[in-house]
Amino acid sequence: MKGWNGCFLRIDLSNKKVIKQNYSEEFAHKWLGGRGFAIKLLWDELTPGTDPLGPDNMLMFLTGPYSGLVIPNSGKLVVAAKSPITGGYGDGNLGSMAGPNLRKAGYDAIIITGKLDKPSYILIENEKVEIILANELWGLDCYETEKILKKSHGVSTGVLSIGQSGENLTRFATIISQEGRAGGRPGMGAVMGSKKLKAIVIHGTKEPLLADKEALLKLGKEGFDSIQKRDNYNFWKKQGTMATVEWCQNASTLPTRNFSEGIFECSKEIDGNTMEKQTIKQRGCPNCNMICGNIILDTNGEESELDYENVVMLGSNIGVGDLKKVATLNRICDMLGLDTISAGSSIGFAMECSEKKLIDSDLYFGDFMGAQRLLREMAEMKGEGALFGLGVKAASEKIGKGSSDFAIHVKGLECSAYDCHLCPGMALSFGTSPIGAHHKDAWVISWEISSGTREEYGPSKADKVIEFQRIRGGMYESLVACRFPWIELGFENEWFPKYIEAATGVKYSLDDMWILGDRIYALIRAFWVREYGGKWDRKMDYPPIRWFKEPLKKGPLTGKHLDLSKYDLLLEEYYKKRGWNNLGIPTNDTMKKLGLEKESIELNKILENVK
């Protein structure tokens, strides 16, 4: 096989069994890689109802045919499993040396099942695969862990590790690499911790066989040059995603105090301009010439890598208006392996519960010391952290007293940093995201606001969400390529089929990519339905209830909120365009059209239980 390695590394931790499994070209062509592989493997192999934190859950690290090659923004890796925070499909991606090393070791994915008796790590050096005891690493943070492992195995290795939060099963623990490259928001770090797996160290020295290496190198160079010549390249390099703080403040979409408002009185203290004055260096993923991680020094003089999401969720969303303090909170999350978005949302939720006296706590919005304490407690699952480390949905169910009205999540996953009191398109994107509320797939908010259609619920919103889901959630997540060249600099999608053809020899059109995206979306949806059975409900595709019930109270959009009946019609429109029924479940026809005949038979059996 060319372009792909054609080989999965399967590791059963319970029996310490390692299998190198070749897979078919047909499988590769149909599912491409990354998220495509992940959902097909989960569907085929995971028993419905499997405990996400039990030994049978599958933890997967996946590349695609694009990964690790010397072409633009190819240093990403997908991590996927059944999620312990949502109970449905979970994935995320991170950029570090781990992805390229995995490809060079000769594997396209690692599939891990079972559970170790004692904490250990996996060492992969090309064909050699070892499981090594890691008692001395257990209890260490991700920074210390990676430092020690790199000292033993070399600085050019890729290291993926969990911190204390993964070990203690915080439901939104992530997997960390290179001090701050985090992936797997929906608790992928907790799945790793449940298997007592502290880290994976990967070192590869081989090259995947390519269909036309010369053409790929030439195209790679052209791509890098083209990116560098884009009009907004220099602007992007200065602030990366942080320019969005100022933009969201102006558009009243900056999550503030647990998403109760869209503007923050101290936004200037945490925005991209403030960051620019403090940036000491930048960091990025391998094979990228638009590196976007900006590093500043925190209140302790330690380095912290910032981007829009973590700054807002640990800043305005919890009432902290000082970038250095935000940087401190961000660094703690990265060290402990906590997802910054869910951590910020959980702290904001806890602060609101405390201010409303629904819990016995002295937390308040803006409480920097309290936020630090809660982060540590969530990573230990102790004190107040034992409750809030479950995520806001589960915490609100335990607290009761109406707190679910301001628990900001979809399907159990906390919302990323866009307030949608008046953005129905972005709300639909959160509602229908395949992992719960996340912006990774359909980030339509910039279009929605700039196009002057902010208050509309018409079909164009559903079209836009689907268009973005196909491109970002389908093509990029399966190629395993970063979405930023396209969305930020206008690097055309047409480049990607060319890269894939040079790497694999297989011709894909962009239309093929969109069909692939639809296939992946349909199967992920079928997976959710299979897991939820009779409990599946179209209301699971609703955005947080606060955006319907509680109007904005500040700023130019005072009084505005989403309209439930209009949202419901928009959702209906979305389902129709996707070929899903009015419960949001793909119809038989749709499944067949997408080449999912076999899967549709199983789905039908499940549907007998779904009303």
Partner 1 sequence: MRIRVRIFGEISEEIGKNYDFEIHGKITVLEVLEKVSSISGQKRGYLGNYKIGEKDIGYLVNGKNIEFLDGLATILHDDNELVILQPTTGG
H helix intervals, 264-389: 272-278, 308-313, 323-336, 340-355, 368-380, 385-388
Task: Give CA–CA dist 490/227, Å, rounded.
Answer: 9
* Shortest Å, Cβ 481 to ligand SF4: 8
Single residue of 160, 482, 529, 585 touching ligand SF4 by CB under 6 A:
482
Closer by beta carbon to partner 1, 248 or else 606? 248
Task: Give CA–CA dist 417/270, Å, rounded.
Answer: 14
Under the binding rule (CB under 6 A), the answer on residue 284 touching ligand SF4 is yes
CA atoms within 13 A on the CB side of 397: 6
Single residue of 58, 285, 395, 552 touching ligand SF4 by CB under 6 A:
285
Single residue of 110, 124, 292, 379 touching ligand SF4 by CB under 6 A:
292
Instruction: Find which of ligand SF4, partner 1, none residue 95 binds, CB within 5 to 8 Å per kind.
Output: ligand SF4
Give Rg (Cα) of the chain.
22
Q: Residue 493 is encoded by which pair of tokens?
A: 């999608």
356 CB contacts (<8 Å, ≥6 apart)?
none
Measure the N-to-C terminal CA separation of the chain; round to a whole number of Å: 44
Under the binding rule (CB under 8 A), the answer on residue 435 touching partner 1 is no
Instruction: Using DSSP, state whether 53 is helix, strand or coil.
Output: coil
Closer by beta carbon to ligand SF4, 36 or else 293? 293
* Shortest Å, Cβ 86 to partner 1: 21
Single residue of 241, 256, 304, 340 touching partner 1 by CB under 8 A:
241
Beta bridge partner(s), residue 124: 129, 202
The answer to whether residues 177 and 158 touch, using CB atoms and an 8 Å cutoff, is: yes
Single residue of 68, 95, 119, 183 touching ligand SF4 by CB under 6 A:
95
Closer by beta carbon to ligand SF4, 292 or else 295? 292
Considering only residues 296 to 335 of the shown chain, the ones binding partner 1 according to CB under 8 A are 308
Under the binding rule (CB under 8 A), the answer on residue 282 touching partner 1 is no
Under the binding rule (CB under 8 A), the answer on residue 556 touching partner 1 is yes
Helix, strand and coil content of the chain, in percent to the nearest 5, comes to: 45, 15, 40
Under the binding rule (CB under 6 A), the answer on residue 291 touching ligand SF4 is yes
Closer by beta carbon to ligand SF4, 313 or else 374? 313
Task: Give CA–CA dist 44/28, Å, rounded.
Answer: 15
Under the binding rule (CB under 6 A), the answer on residue 586 touching ligand SF4 is no
The answer to whether residues 359 and 399 touch, using CB atoms and an 8 Å cutoff, is: yes
Task: Give CA–CA dist 435/185, Å, rounded.
Answer: 9
The answer to whether residues 606 and 50 touch, using CB atoms and an 8 Å cutoff, is: no
Q: How far, in whole angstroms, is CA 77 from its chain's centroid?
A: 11
Single residue of 156, 450, 509, 609 touching partner 1 by CB under 8 A:
450
Closer by beta carbon to ligand SF4, 23 or else 484? 484
Binding site for ligand SF4 (CB under 6 A): 73, 75, 95, 284-285, 288, 290-292, 482, 484
Binding site for partner 1 (CB under 8 A): 231-232, 235-236, 239-244, 246-248, 250-252, 308, 439, 443, 445-447, 449-455, 487-488, 555-557
